[in-house]
Structure 1
Amino acid sequence: MRLGSIHIYPIKSTRGLQVATAQVEPWGLAGDRRYMVVDADGMVLTARDHPRMLAVAATAEGRGLTLTGPHADPLQVSPAPGTPTRRVRIWNDDVDAVDAGDEAAAWFTALLGVPARLVWLDDPTRRPVDPDYGTADDRVSFADAYPLLLASTASLRRLNDWIAEGAVERGEEPPEPLPMTRFRPSVVVEDVPEPFAEDRWRRVRIGDVPFRAVKLCDRCVLTTIDPGTLTKGKEPIRTLSRHRRWDGKVWFAVNLIPDGTGTIRVGDPVTAEE
């Protein structure tokens, strides 16, 4: 098995960047989801409810970001040193983060049509991982719950086969295969011996960096949004509900917690223990 691709999402719920190498930090890949967008009350906003977020690209620019979107000129964002933190909420977690300023707030408000502000997690040690699946020392940035998400091309091929078979059963033309970007993985593994083998993995090594595989990923409506057209459909939730549903949820990919730090590169060997 080998590492086929690496993906970083500088701002939660915006477009991902595919990179050739990445530094693994205790809370995830360097530069991954250290920013997020919140509403007037400090609650996280995501593309689940605001698909236009998927049209935003953010790239590193010095110690900040350059934002590009379909609604306004590009904007450079760089939180000022010493800016006081404010309390924000991501799901069940209250976290102190730095507000990125009024220009960024106006930019995202114009994009989404609701009051919005961009915040930066200046200290990624503040947010612990769910203690049911991690240790007291495990931390996560503004990712949903865990530092990294691993998916395999073998599982995606099987899922696309199921989708095509279901379309034929309904008398429909099989759709174009879903791309891996629908699932927003951090790392994608190729040459896995069988589909969904990652369900059974407990420890994974990518290159020289070890990880724990702590929990399968339950999937939400975000996977049904085409990141190119921003339109919603029924797949892959419809097909996952048929083939990968238990405990009242549907499942695809596995969450990882680093057990070390270092650099990972596309092409690195991947090994796993069940």
Structure 2
Amino acid sequence: MMKPVHASRCGDFATQYLDMRAPRSRAFLYGVCALLFAVCVAATLIACGSMSTMDDMPMFGGWAMSMTWMPMCGRSWPGVAARFVGMWVVMMIAMMLPSLAPVLWRYDEALRRAGHARAALMTLLAGVGYFAVWAALGAALFVFGATLAALEMRMPAASRAVPVAAGVIVLSAGALQLTALKARYLRCCRHAAQSGLHALPARAVAAIRYGVRLGLHCCVCCASLTAVLAVAGVMDLRAMAAVTVAITLERVAPHGEFIARVIGFLVIGAGLFMIVRAASLV
């Protein structure tokens, strides 16, 4: 007669099986993220190259406004908005994937260890929910930027104040990096990236909700650096690269809170320099 297999031994076999599958699922997830990252970087480079062919509009105050905020070549406002949000999402994928990939892997691993068969699909939906939040932020940013651009074109006084206002925004963004609010949300983001997750229900709504919650935390955590990017130019490759490195370092590198503070002091210095330079030109 065959001896019955003890339940604990069955559990051990299941654990060993999942441990054997973990490296393969991890390699697959990171491979997909790397491919998506490469595609979005290429698309961002192409978009920035096309925008560089358009001359910026000289404005009162000695600065030039990007044509990102204005309809060109007979395009309508909805078309310009859709184009901006599309480019924004592609940029955010390229910028946020280096720090998001470890979080998605932890989520995928938690689902697989809980025995969910659709872990890959749930992880994909979590990513969709995450970037949906960034897409909404991009839409709000476009409305604000387009409104501000129209105001600057109609009011020379507002245009002349832009260089100083930009410096004040950058200075404030650096100060925000030093606050307890930044530290709290950064700890939440680092905890999601560096520790395991509790078993989550394998439902599409739950996965999207998890991604949306993660995206909201991330947007608050990155508010200061996003403001710096908006001031420097959302289509400026150097600004995008610098912000990407800063976000990745404070999220995944050791001593992330210390790195965030160092970044804050650097941003404060840049803001002060911008204010002094703008004031000297008045």
Shorter-chain TM-score tier? under 0.3
User: TM-score scaled by structure 1?
Assistant: 0.27
Larger strand proportion of the pair: 1
Q: Which has the larger radius of gyration?
A: 2
